[in-house]
Structures are given as C-alpha cells and as structure tokens.
Amino acid sequence: MIRPDETEIRGAWIVREGRVEADHNCQRIEHLLRASLLEAGRDANGWDALYVDPNDGRYWELIYPESQLHGGGPPLLRYVTAVHARRKYNIP
C-alpha cells in the first residue's frame, strides 16, 4: 500500500560484488504495479505510464528519470494531479 502522506517512491540501483541490484524501493514499485495499482494509460513514447490507486483514487506516474542508463535506469513512481494525468495521458 502507498501511505496517504507519500508523493514519491524513487528506486535506485546498488552495486554489490560487481553486480547491479535493485534496491527496496525498486522492489516495492514492482510489487505495487503487480498487486495494487491499476494502469490507466501510457504516453505517446510508451515509456511513461499512468496508474491509479483504487484505494484513494490518486494518480501515479511511472517514469525512468535516468534514461541514459541501460534499461532506462531505476524507476520513479510519483503522485501526479488529475490535471497532469489528463494533459499527458489524454484520459477523460
């Protein structure tokens, strides 16, 4: 679950023994996408995605702000307003 006071969950990659691993927040984002949030749309490039939390109706945007890294880098899940969601994702 996402706490009511949260507005951002930022993943990071950790290097351990020469291997890159996803941190706890990356794993949490993956879990939320599979088990809790509902996909509501994708932007024109297909990378950014919009989700809605059925528990409180808030919109969450999944982006990859370090896109220069392999695979787009670690994920960032952030709260966005309904106005932002309508503009970027063309939802009603």
pLDDT digits (tens, 9 = 90+) for 5-44: 999 999 999 989 999 899 999 999 999 999 999 999 999 8
Strands laid side by side in the 8-10 sheet: 8-10, 76-80, 59-63, 49-52, 38-42
Q: Is the pLDDT of residue 70 over 70?
A: no
The whole-angstrom separation of Cα 12 and Cα 2 is: 18
Q: In angstroms, how far apart are the furthest CA atoms of the chain?
A: 48
Q: Is the pLDDT of residue 68 over 80?
A: no
- The pLDDT value given to residue 12: 95
- The pLDDT value given to residue 57: 97
- The pLDDT value given to residue 47: 86
Identity of the amino acid at 38: L
Residue 56, CB-side half-sphere exposure with 13 Å CA sphere: 12
